[in-house]
């Protein structure tokens, strides 16, 4: 059976959506225990309680930042308890520009719940921000103005004035230099001619681990929720998290 952890609803619309989700879960025969974090019960406590009760499939329902938070606690607690074969699933409540929706390749609520019923499993890379902060979705290092920072790996060192840095769980890093901000002329020509421009001020690299340092504290965020602040050191852990994903679609061609 599944153990469902719901993000606290922010409004009546979300409450109605939760009722719809619970109904669909019941109709598809994938019911389980359903809990919601409150001031008296944190996400960490609920996740640990689910594992203690013997559930080996934890499902998070909510926004990207909440889903990542449940995954973080699930990984931390299962590693501490020496539990293996723990499976994670997610039902996003937003689909436009949702990172977890893109990761799972689902476009709506029906696909998300159907995905849980089919239970196709795949292992994903997870990243660690030392000492114990895990993330399964891309993070952003950014603030309301450009910032100087140093990025270093075992083999090279980068110093840049950036407007934003994006990092995936496999530690693919994309640095957007301050000069990559388009001016009015660039915006106008792009609108008039619709011609793609090579962004020569955006650079990227991939490493198993690297660090970011800065003269000021720069937030590291998912969905506008701060996970940490610089300086940070990151590592990628390949295939650490077992996730429920849709089955590959098979296309049939007519001869």
Q: Which domains does the chain have, with CATH numbers?
A: 2-118 (3.40.50.10330), 139-232 (2.60.200.40)
pLDDT of residue 68: 97
Phi, psi dihedral angles at 68 (to 5 degrees): -65, -35
> Which range, of 25-39, 171-185, 199-213, 235-249, averages the lowest pLDDT?
171-185
CA angle 124, 130, 133 (to 5 degrees): 55
Polymer length of the chain: 255
Phi, psi dihedral angles at 51 (to 5 degrees): -70, -40
Specify which of 130-134, 177-181, 244-248 reaches the highest per-range mean pLDDT.
130-134
* Euclidean distance between CA atoms 145 and 247, whole angstroms: 42
| Average pLDDT for 38-59 | 95
Q: pTM of the predicted model, to two decimals?
A: 0.86
For all residues of the chain together, what is the average pLDDT? 88
Q: What is the DSSP letter of 96?
A: T
pLDDT of residue 224: 85
| Average pLDDT for 44-48 | 97
pLDDT of residue 195: 42
**Position with higher pLDDT, 225 vs 178:** 225
| Average pLDDT for 233-241 | 96
CA atoms in the 13 A half-sphere facing the CB of 160: 20
Binned at pLDDT 50, 70 and 90, residue 202 comes out as confident
* Cα distances (angstroms) measured from residue 119 to each of 112, 220, 243: 11, 32, 9
Q: What percent of the chain has pLDDT over 90?
A: 75
């Amino acid at each position: 059976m599944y153990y469902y952890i719901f993000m606290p609803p922010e409004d009546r619309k979300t409450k109605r959506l939760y009722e719809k989700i619970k109904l669909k879960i019941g109709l598809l025969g994938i019911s389980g225990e359903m809990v919601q974090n409150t001031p008296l019960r944190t996400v960490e406590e609920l996740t640990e309680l689910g594992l203690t009760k013997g559930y080996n499939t934890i499902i998070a329902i909510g926004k990207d930042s909440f889903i990542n938070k449940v995954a973080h606690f699930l990984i931390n607690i299962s590693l501490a308890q020496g539990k293996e074969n723990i499976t994670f699933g997610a039902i996003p409540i937003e689909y436009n520009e949702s990172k977890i929706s893109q990761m799972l390749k689902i476009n709506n609520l029906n696909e998300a719940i159907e995905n849980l019923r089919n239970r196709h499993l795949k292992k994903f890379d997870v990243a660690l921000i030392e000492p114990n902060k895990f993330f399964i979705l891309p993070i952003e290092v950014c603030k309301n103005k450009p910032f100087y920072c140093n990025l270093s790996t075992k083999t090279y060192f980068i110093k840049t004035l950036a407007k934003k840095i994006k990092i995936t769980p496999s530690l693919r890093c994309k640095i957007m230099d301050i000069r990559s901000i388009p001016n009015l002329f660039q915006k106008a020509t792009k609108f008039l001619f619709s011609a793609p421009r090579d962004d020569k001020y955006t650079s990227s690299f991939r490493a198993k681990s690297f660090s970011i340092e800065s003269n000021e504290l720069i937030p590291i965020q998912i969905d506008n929720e701060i996970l940490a602040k610089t300086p940070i050191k990151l590592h990628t852990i390949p295939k650490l998290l077992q996730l429920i994903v849709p089955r590959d679609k098979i296309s049939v061609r007519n001869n």
